[in-house]
Structure 1
Amino acid sequence: MTNDSVRPALDGTTIRPVRTGESEAEAALIVRAFAAGPYGHLPKGAERAAFEADTAGRAADGAVLVAVDAEGGVVGTASVLRASSRYSRVARPGEAEVRLISVDPGAQGSGLGAALTRASLEEALGWGAAALVLDTGTRNLRAQALYERLGFERDAERDAAVGADVDSLAYRYPLQRREDVVVRLMRADEADAVAELVESAYAADFELNPRYRADIVAVAERARAHQVWVAADAATGELLGTATTPRAGATMSPVAHAGELDFRFLGVAPAARRRGIGETLVRHVLALARLRGIDRVVLNTGPDMLGAQRLYDRLGFTRLHEREYRFVRPDGSGFQMLAYGRDAGVDAA
């Protein structure tokens, strides 16, 4: 959720990065939310008060996400922090941490806390973080139930006493499947390299007509509307593969129906083939669907992309014959565009 991207939440509420002029409202919301919680009766130290008030500092350490209602009011917030930054408390190198997940007392119980947590997971995923971690007080039973329902795992090694009257429980949500490959959002200065990668990936399998080639290499333009993901070698940073997904709440192609996630432009650098990069990227899309609470992933592919078809078959995708159509070229020739789909489900190892 970078570059001020907006995602729908509940009943006209949207989640996006905090904007200039909202810091005071965001900090005040945190105070109200925590006062209504299980630790609201305890005195607040100066260090904690300064942390809550420092919206700009938390944003500089990562990202401050806010939930904004239809009237523009801030009704929720979460701070996603990079490991080793000043406000990170339990994250280890390579991880991200979420703190101060807060919902206005009048909106609690609406599911907004879950939406903010999902948005925080996606933010950390975009950074390429190995995991998102957090801690919460032992008395905060509602929060514990939420994190466990969303798939966080208890990490007892990081449990700690936060204060004289507060013991914390730590949770961790793994975001990367492999130690040797990191999947993250493309950086702006990588657009040309990704365009070269995806063009070479497609050209290795079949001849590209000028129109399709132009569509494939329009990576910078694509990133303005959608999410361009890259798989990079964890040791060297070399770009190995790419895939594009829509931003939350949107679709990229007619193949996707309401409540589904589609993806396009899956490509693996020719030199990186046989390393499982294509499978890693497809499983990444399935994981992204689960983060968003989406049940199904769908896609189109051409009849010549036999390697991709074998990959989809192996990963449990099935043909959606009713969604297939004939693609007609400007010269009148054409081919049958294939459609595949799979429930996001629980990913297998």
Structure 2
Amino acid sequence: MTVPPGDPAANPPGGSTPADVAPPTELPVDAAVWPEHSAATTDDVPVLSRVGHDRGHLDRDLDDPARGRPVRVLTIDAQRQVPLRETATGPELLWDERVAFPTGGIYLGHADDVAYAVVRGERSLTVSGTPVDGWSGLREVGSDLGDRDAGLLAQAVGIVEWHERNRFSPYTGAATVVEKSGWTQRDPITGQEVFPRTDPAVIMLVHDGGDRCVLGRQAVWPPGRFSILAGFVEPGESAEAAVAREVAEEVGLEVTDVRYVSSQPWPFPQSLMLGFTARAVGTELRVDHDEIEEARWFTRDELRSGHGPAALPPPVSIARHLIDAWLAEDGQTP
């Protein structure tokens, strides 16, 4: 569920961009963000669902959402990458320390009496006098960041994506006016407010009620990588119905015992992944090759031993969280 960064030159003079009315297009996935060897997830919640700050939604209505507090500002570039520094305990986001809320900044919330904001900008070699060790994205470093930084970065990427893709009113096509510290856009003609959008998607581990689960792969993924099935919720459809429909469409299986497990923000560009397990009624796979390239049953032992897929999804994804939880049901992890 990846999409290309928005191209400002491709925006029409009025109305929304094509990305507003079409599902995301899958792009080739770099093997660097889906390595062959990665540790199992260990948290009780998916990585990007961690929160270590207060989003401060009431502060967004204020002229100064920082309330006079110091502000740490994160710069995000056109490739949705941010500055990092390496520490003895892992990477950390590099924040520009400011005494006032930045012009054009989007308020992210606060923690320990410090406000946080994100701005769009260019790469630099230093931030507040500290050398930048590298620029990277949420996919690459999300699983290595602490709770506060992981939550702030997921929020920052999601809200910036919304601004880049929704700069015109869906009512009149007029350029919108940004309000409420970046969390609302207003149609200047009708006065209608436009709020950040989140698209619900389901992602499900389908098992046979015993020791096997179904994994599939898309052609744009690096060779040998398999993951669980996923798809978008359609208008007027429940999440559970979407699970059953998507599994039937992708691999031809009827499922029952659909159970919700957990959710995860996936701001690539604007999805909320709703994680489920489901039990297959039969075992014969009928793969829709318009949806996926290949699908297979794998046993727990194959997934643990490395004799199955070349790589499971990286820890940053809820897919890996669901796989690891299923593998741990009989007391073991990969």
Same-fold call, TM > 0.5?
Answer: no
**More relative contact order, 1 or 2 (CA 8 Å, 6+ apart):** 2
Would you tell me which structure has more helix in proportion to its own residues? 1
| TM-score, normalization by structure 2 | 0.27
| TM-score, normalization by structure 1 | 0.26
